[in-house]
């Protein structure tokens, strides 16, 4: 019997995960199926339980269910506990549900792929929601000189910085509190989804700085266009999507797929519309 996997979201029809995991399965010779399941907004647990009862072995979880997946998991990884969110569910050999979070390692690997090192660098992270919380521990693990979190609601950024304060030098505040230039600026807010631009000051980028948006599309986001106009190197989040998926695939199948060809395939898909 072919093992079944899926991505759960609401909405989820736009998800590239089925394309990615089909490519990984073909590349590695793994017999599995992977589909997109739109769970009811108020019944993720029921949707997962129906899938598992039908033989589902694991799943990716996207907005807005990562917190519910965390609560549903019987055991969670250290990185999921830090993020308080699960984006990868695994049914163990004993039938217990294990939750992990591969978003942070996906971002760290994509930055490395693009030659962006964080050691000793000054890093600005925009946003203080779940997407940012999920990546802070891996970012701090790269030993940056400092991470500053900026958010429209300063108290949320302050609270997030306090939660991760033991892992490195990190502070939070509102956009008006941003001071000085940064080597790496990461947009983890939802602004790009609606085409909005965070209220960032000019003079934000140090020489040879990188601007990274966790969102991606056929064209650069408004944040990346703004950054390019100010001399920054722009990177979107397509590679993060592929790398977090590769880590999930490894957790399920104990085989690590190559990501280069899948990155290229996805970029072509976006360009073709």
Q: Which two three-digit tokens encode residue 173?
A: 């505040």
180 in a labelled binding site:
no
Q: How far apart are CA 159 and CA 169, in angstroms?
A: 14
237 is in an annotated binding site: yes
109 known member of a binding site: no
Q: Is 59 annotated as a binding residue?
A: no
Q: Is 216 annotated as a binding residue?
A: yes
131 marked as part of a ligand binding site = yes
Q: Is 155 annotated as ligand-binding?
A: yes
Q: Is 121 marked as binding a ligand? A: no
Q: Which residues pair with 9 in a beta bridge?
A: 38
Of residues 187, 268, 193, the one with CA closest to residue 235:
187
Exposed / middle / buried, residue 250 (Cβ in 10 Å: 0-12, 13-18, 19+): middle
**C-alpha span between 15 and 234 (Å, rounded):** 23
- Evaluate whether 47 touches 39 at the Cβ level (below 8 Å): yes
Was 49 annotated as part of a binding site?
A: no
The catalytic residue among 21, 66, 109, 253 is: 66
244 assigned ligand-binding residue: yes
Please tell me whether 151 is known to bind a ligand: yes
> Known binder of ligand: residue 87?
yes
119 annotated active-site: no
* Residue 128 marked as a ligand binder: yes
| Crossing angle (nearest 10°) for helices 17-28 and 238-253 | 50
Distance CA 84, CA 101 (A): 9
C-alpha dist (Å) from residue 162 to 19, 85, 133, 149, 204? 38, 18, 12, 11, 24
**DSSP letter, residue 123:** E
How many separate helices (H) and strands (E) can be counted in the chain?
10, 12
Which residues does the annotation place in the binding site?
15-17, 62, 87, 103, 127-131, 151-156, 214, 216, 237, 244
Which residues does the annotation place in the binding site for NADP(+)?
127-131, 151-156, 214, 237
By annotation, the residues acting in catalysis are 66
Which residues does the annotation place in the binding site for shikimate?
15-17, 62, 87, 103, 216, 244
């Amino acid at each position: 019997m072919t093992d079944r996997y899926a991505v759960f979201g609401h909405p989820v029809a736009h998800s590239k995960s089925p394309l990615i995991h089909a490519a990984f399965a073909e590349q590695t010779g793994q017999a599995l199926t992977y589909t997109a399941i739109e769970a009811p907004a108020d019944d993720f647990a029921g949707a997962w339980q129906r899938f598992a009862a039908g033989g589902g072995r694991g799943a990716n979880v996207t907005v807005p269910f990562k917190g519910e997946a965390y609560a549903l998991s019987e055991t969670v990884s250290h990185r999921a506990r830090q993020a308080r969110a699960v984006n990868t569910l695994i049914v163990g050999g004993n039938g217990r549900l294990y939750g992990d979070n591969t978003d942070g390692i996906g971002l760290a690997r994509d930055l490395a792929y693009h030659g962006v090192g964080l050691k000793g660098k000054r890093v600005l992270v925009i946003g203080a929601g779940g997407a940012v919380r999920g990546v802070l521990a891996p970012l701090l693990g790269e030993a940056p000189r400092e991470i500053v979190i900026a958010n429209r609601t300063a108290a949320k950024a302050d609270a997030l910085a306090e939660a991760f304060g033991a892992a490195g030098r990190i502070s939070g505040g509102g956009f008006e509190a941003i001071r000085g230039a940064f080597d790496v600026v990461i947009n983890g807010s939802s602004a790009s989804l609606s085409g909005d631009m965070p209220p960032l000051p000019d003079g934000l980028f140090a020489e040879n700085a990188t601007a990274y948006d966790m969102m991606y599309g056929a064209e650069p986001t408004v944040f990346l266009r703004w950054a390019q106009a100010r001399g920054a190197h722009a990177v979107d989040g397509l590679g993060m999507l592929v790398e977090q998926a590769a880590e999930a695939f490894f957790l399920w199948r104990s085989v690590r797929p190559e990501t280069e060809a899948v990155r290229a395939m996805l970029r072509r898909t976006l360009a073709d519309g």
